[in-house]
Amino acid sequence: MNLAEGVQIVSLGILGVLMLASALGVVLLSNIVYSAFLLAMVFASISGLYILLNAGFVAAAQILVYVGAVNILILFGIMLVNKREDFQPVANAWIGKAATAAVCAGLFALLSSMVLATPWHLSSAIPAGEAAIEVIGQHFFSDFLLPFELASVLLLMALVGAIILARREYVPDEEPENEQKVLTLRERPRELVAAASNDLQND
């Protein structure tokens, strides 16, 4: 075993432990902000595993998409909502927890039996290495064209949905009581209007 192999094995171990520990943290911690930050660590360690597999482009894309976009949006969602709410203790909460544990254990058993039962064929092809970007691009426009296009349609739908959500304009003069409740999105009434009318009454 030479130096490079040793470094690879050690970093594989470190990344694996890091990934499992932070994934457990995501699930078990009660502070949702910690969970979101730990999720970024999970994604980053997965990207490290990609680097160990000689897939530099996929690793960078993983960081860009998951850490830089998805996780930040999750954090944004948490911090913009930021609703401090004390949860009521639910009676017989252990039933739900036990059911969740059973489902998780079942999934784990299913997946591990699948992993053990499948005869894995290790590819003997030479790793693409630096030329991987071109290979990925050619696959996108030949045999993986349909999934690629479907993903772009999905993103377009999300984009249109986001625009519809962002474009609704609140008209403060209207009385909210007379508004038809069907097919309207719930929105917090603006405190600005209420404060202004209070000032008028006080005057």
Of residues 67 through 96, those in contact with other proteins by CB under 8 A are 67-69, 71-72, 75-76, 79-80
Residue type, 23: A
Calculate the alpha carbon distances from 68 to 75, 102, 158, 195 in Å.
Answer: 11, 34, 18, 39
> Applying CB under 8 A, does 3 fall inside the site for other proteins?
yes
Distance CA 152, CA 158 (A): 10
How many residues sit in the footprint of other proteins (CB under 8 A)?
25
Q: Does 2 bind other proteins (CB under 8 A)?
A: yes
> Which residue, among 76, 62, 52, has the nearest Cα to 4 in the 3D structure?
52
159 binds other proteins (CB under 8 A): no
CB of 43 to other proteins, least distance (A): 10
Sign of the dihedral defined by the CA atoms of residues 111, 112, 114, 118, in that order: positive
Given a contact cutoff of 8 angstroms between Cβ atoms, the answer to whether 78 and 33 are in contact is yes
Q: Name which position in 127, 129, 147, 176 contacts other proteins (CB under 8 A).
A: 129
Burial code (b: 16+ CB inside 10 Å, e: under 16) for 136-171 equals: eeeeeeeeeeeeeeeeeeeeeeeeeeeeeeeeeeee
Classify residue 75 as exposed, middle or buried by CB count within 10 Å of its CB (0-12, 13-18, 19+).
middle
| 38 lines the binding site for other proteins (CB under 8 A) | no
Task: Based on the shown chain and the rule CB under 8 A, indicate whether residue 61 belongs to the binding site for other proteins.
Answer: yes
Q: Does 16 bind other proteins (CB under 8 A)?
A: no
Residue nearer to other proteins on the CB measure, 79 or 158:
79
Note whether 25 binds other proteins by CB under 8 A. no
Q: How far is the CB of 67 from other proteins (least distance, A)?
A: 6
Q: Which is nearer to other proteins, 109 or 133 (CB)?
A: 133
Binding site for other proteins (CB under 8 A): 2-3, 33, 37, 40, 56-57, 60-61, 63-64, 67-69, 71-72, 75-76, 79-80, 129-133
